[in-house]
């Protein structure tokens, strides 16, 4: 193989390994402690589904230079946010805490999904 093609394949492999490491460290894909194969298989599928949903949020809704694009960042900043959700008439309202500094990203996700 030519050297350029080898480097391209190797760099792609490194990116895939980073995604696997991100899933293992953040979503605990490697935590298959059940004795039954089906239970471990279901847990891994749910973890992969969660990763794909978070990856879609990262890819399509979160932008900007100051944003650190990692799954762990998304979980800590957008998913684990203390908020009160209320419904009045035909509208849903999300009231997040005042120290929430990234509310524009949160509002962008909510606005695009409705």
Per-residue pLDDT tens digits for 78-87? 777 677 788 8
* Residue range of the domain that includes 17: 3-113
In this model, does residue 44 exceed pLDDT 80? yes
pLDDT at 111: 67
pTM attached to this predicted model: 0.58
Q: Parallel, antiparallel, or unpaired for β 91-96 and 83-88?
A: antiparallel
- Count of structural domains within the chain: 1
Residues 6+ apart with CB under 8 A from 48: 23, 29
Stated as kind and residue range, the H or E segment containing 25 is helix 3-27
């Amino acid at each position: 193989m030519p050297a350029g093609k080898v480097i391209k394949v190797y760099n792609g492999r490194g990116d895939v390994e980073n995604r696997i490491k991100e899933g293992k460290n953040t979503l605990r894909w490697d935590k298959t402690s059940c004795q039954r194969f089906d239970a471990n298989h279901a847990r891994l599928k749910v973890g992969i589904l969660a990763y794909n949903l978070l990856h879609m949020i990262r890819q399509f809704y979160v932008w900007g230079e100051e944003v650190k694009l990692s799954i762990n960042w998304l979980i800590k900043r957008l998913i684990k946010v203390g908020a009160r959700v209320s419904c009045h008439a035909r509208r849903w309202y999300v009231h997040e805490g005042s120290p929430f500094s990234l509310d524009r990203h949160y509002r962008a996700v909510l606005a695009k999904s409705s």
